[in-house]
Chains A and B, each alone.
Chain A
Amino acid sequence: MEKIVLPEIENLHKIDVYRANGGYEAIKKALATTPDEIIDTVKKSGLRGRGGAAFSCGLKWSFMPKTTDKPKYLCVNGDESEPGSFKDRQIFEYNPHQCIEGILIASYAIGANSAYVYIRGEYHKWIKLFQKALDDAYDAGLVGEKMKTTFGTKFHVNIYVHKGAGAYICGEESSLMNSIEGKRGYPRVKPPFPAQNGLWGNPTTINNVETLTNVPAIINKGWEWFSKIGAEKHPGTILYGVSGHVNKPGVYELPSGTLLTDIIYNYAGGVPGNKKIKCVIPGGSSMPPLRGDQLEGIAMDADSLKAAGSSIGTAGIMVMDEDTDLVRVLARISKFYYHESCGQCTPCREGTGWMLKILNRMAAGQGQKDDIELLLSVANNIDGNTICALGEAAAWPVKFMVSRFREEFESRMNNSLDHPSLNKVHSMRHSKITVE
């Protein structure tokens, strides 16, 4: 299988090796055509975002206003903080120039003269690696003002690295923009959408690192070629990150639509001790968990996973064997969202804490009468009632873990316990609990 994003070429992270393998030819080719033609090519290729929502990349670019006096911006999302995701850092380490070239092409297509690459602060090492590649590209005249002479065009773009500082929420696109502006990373209410009103109120496009790294290959080899790889409606390869109970955890670049069981058993080496799988989260911790006895035939692309009752997310596959305590796992997941909620919306700010509290007592075998219903009611009240999708990200694992593994949660209840006062703060909505 041909690899697009992480080709197996030694020292590809070095600029001369990248160039010797055809690097920075795609931007030349792109600059010889019009921005509209590039947007059209990317649209036809079927490339969809790899940051979580799998939205059409070309379509997103086409939302950028064509005639405007305002400066336009590209934001490159390398926040990579979704638990179970560790793919973009492979690009920073092994193929940073292809990402840079993708940024150049995207910037030309949308008409941006500044691009910000937002990398999570904990990635100190990968920030240095990417910055080194960027410095080399600047020195070679491939980025910035010097592009004009190098490529003989009027277009140029400057690329800046912006280091995050420990906040999962900054991966959310509007929070990311506030963070670049030097503010607390609060998500913004949408609309207005970034293409109209983004960074400093100007038209902005936000794309994931992996999404953009695909672009040079599409320009070089054409949209027909790309559109024929993997799943028809979600073409290309995907960086699948496999973690948890597998023999060979790691990132595997495979055609979209590869069977989940194939990835787990053939590529990631199966489960240690040949144990059965109890649960798999297929797209990072925000996505609905799947039952281990229902994995057969599930293909890893956006539409197949949706049909199977989950979502591709970041394609971070977390595998849990039969001995896993799912109540503890869910409590840990809820702790994460409780920790990361920015606190703007009441359902998310309060609800994440309540869910954690309930799950912690369940994990300790102290789940009380009605706790499952209470938990689901809190999750349902978050879902759809918040400014950003972190609300859903917190609610979905709870809703689906509990409904798909209900027996496990029921076994942790101590039905003799009934302390409605503990839930007083929530009791108004929970009719079964009497208000004192």
Chain B
Amino acid sequence: MEFKFTVENHEKVVKLFDNYPTKKAAVMPVLYIAQEQNGYISGEVIKEVSTILEISEEDVMGVVTFYTMYHQHMPGKYHLQVCTNVSCMLRGAYDIWEAVKTKTGLKNGETSADGLFSLEEVECMGSCGTAPMIAVNEDFHDNLTKETALELIDSLK
């Protein structure tokens, strides 16, 4: 499906050009705007971004594949990011990770058939002082236990 920025988003893109001496440098923020509009970075998004920034599709693709926060497939309505790095692990993150996998029936990287959840095991999120944690989309949920983690997931409808 063809991708075009909405008028509003296109304005945001053009405004970003003021922040950098080259158009290419705007690729990361522009991809974020595209992802917000489209849900994920499709081939069509890459095409449009490359046209607007006057860089090759390969350059855009290279950025999309390097950074983990650009989704190459549609994530769930709730993208569950469970941190299992050391500070979280020491406070029970693997119990939470196993429980969340069982509860959602998903493996790392999968999205549920109804599109409600996608699941990702993530590296340290910078919440080690309030570990263990799960991020749901952009929001951090800290100081979890297995029980509160499962309650959190129950609350997502």
Closest to B143 in A: A249
Among A71, A184, A251, A336, the residue within 8 A (CB) of B85 is A336
User: Which residues on B sit within 8 Å (CB–CB) of A84?
Assistant: 86-87, 124, 128
Distance from A229 Cβ to chain B, minimum over Cβ atoms (Å): 24
Once bound together, how far apart are the Cα atoms of A250 and B143, in whole Å? 12
Q: Is the CB of A249 within 8 A of B68?
A: no
Q: Is the CB of B129 within 8 A of A324?
A: no
Q: Is the CB of A81 within 8 A of B126?
A: yes
Most chain A C-beta atoms within 10 Å of own C-beta, residue among B87, B89, B138: B87
Distance from B52 Cβ to chain A, minimum over Cβ atoms (Å): 13
Once bound together, how far apart are the Cα atoms of A339 and B24, in whole Å? 26
Q: Is the CB of A332 within 8 A of B67?
A: no
Closest to A179 in B: B28
Q: Is the CB of A180 within 8 A of B25?
A: yes
Q: Is the CB of A125 within 8 A of B138?
A: yes
Q: Can you list, as one digit per residue, whether each of A377-397 has a CB less than 8 Å from chain B (1) or not (0)?
A: 000000000000000000000
Among A86, A180, A200, A329, the residue within 8 A (CB) of B128 is A86
Distance from A370 Cβ to chain B, minimum over Cβ atoms (Å): 27
Q: Is the CB of A200 within 8 A of B125?
A: no
Among B20, B69, B124, B130, the residue within 8 A (CB) of A249 is B130
Q: Is the CB of A166 within 8 A of B138?
A: no
Interface residues of B in 121-157 (CB under 8 A from A): 122-131, 135, 138-140
User: Which residues on A sit within 8 Å (CB–CB) of B87?
Assistant: 83-84, 243-244, 249, 318
User: Which residues on A sit within 8 Å (CB–CB) of B6?
Assistant: none
Among B25, B32, B70, B129, the residue within 8 A (CB) of A243 is B129
Q: Is the CB of A85 within 8 A of B68?
A: no
Q: How many A-B residue pairs have CB under 8 A?
A: 139
User: Which residues on A sit within 8 Å (CB–CB) of B125?
Assistant: 122
Q: Is the CB of A182 within 8 A of B131?
A: no
Closest to A184 in B: B66
B26 contacts the other chain (CB 8 A): yes
> Taking A123-B126, A336-B124 as contacts, is the C-beta distance between A83 and B24 under 8 angstroms?
no
Q: Is the CB of B86 within 8 A of A124?
A: no
Q: Is the CB of A251 within 8 A of B129?
A: yes
Q: Is the CB of A160 within 8 A of B89?
A: no
Task: Using C-beta atoms within 8 Å of the partner chain, give the interface range for chain B.
Answer: 35 or more
> Taking A182-B63, A184-B66 as contacts, is the C-beta distance between A83 and B127 under 8 angstroms?
no
> Taking A182-B24, A244-B90 as contacts, is the C-beta distance between A125 and B140 under 8 angstroms?
yes
Once bound together, how far apart are the Cα atoms of A187 and B67, in whole Å? 14
A44 contacts the other chain (CB 8 A): no
B22 contacts the other chain (CB 8 A): yes
A340 contacts the other chain (CB 8 A): yes
Q: Can you list, as one digit per residue, whether each of B88-116 has a CB less than 8 Å from chain A (1) or not (0)?
A: 01110000000000000000000000000
Among B26, B84, B85, B122, the residue within 8 A (CB) of A182 is B26
Q: Is the CB of B22 within 8 A of A318?
A: no
User: Which residues on B sit within 8 Å (CB–CB) of A166?
Assistant: 67-69
A285 contacts the other chain (CB 8 A): yes
Q: Is the CB of B123 within 8 A of A182?
A: no
> Taking A84-B124, A121-B69, A163-B28 as contacts, is the C-beta distance between A332 and B129 under 8 angstroms?
no
Q: Can you list, as one digit per residue, whether each of A154-166 has a CB less than 8 Å from chain B (1) or not (0)?
A: 0000001011111
User: Which residues on B sit within 8 Å (CB–CB) of A281?
Assistant: 86
Closest to A250 in B: B129
A181 contacts the other chain (CB 8 A): yes
A358 contacts the other chain (CB 8 A): no
Interface residues of A in 260-297 (CB under 8 A from B): 281, 285
Q: Is the CB of A182 within 8 A of B21?
A: no
User: Which residues on A sit within 8 Å (CB–CB) of B31?
Assistant: 165
Once bound together, how far apart are the Cα atoms of A121 and B51, in whole Å? 25
B29 contacts the other chain (CB 8 A): yes
User: Which residues on A sit within 8 Å (CB–CB) of B131?
Assistant: 243, 249
What 5 A-B pairs have minimum CB-CB distances, sorted nearest first? A165-B67, A166-B68, A243-B128, A243-B87, A166-B69
Q: List 18 A-B contacts (CB under 8 A).
A: A81-B126, A85-B124, A122-B122, A165-B69, A166-B67, A181-B24, A182-B22, A182-B55, A243-B87, A243-B90, A244-B90, A285-B86, A316-B128, A320-B90, A329-B90, A336-B124, A340-B123, A342-B66
Binding site for B on A (CB under 8 A): 71, 80-86, 89, 120-125, 160, 162-168, 179-185, 200, 241-245, 249-251, 281, 285, 316, 318-320, 324, 328-329, 332-333, 336, 339-340, 342
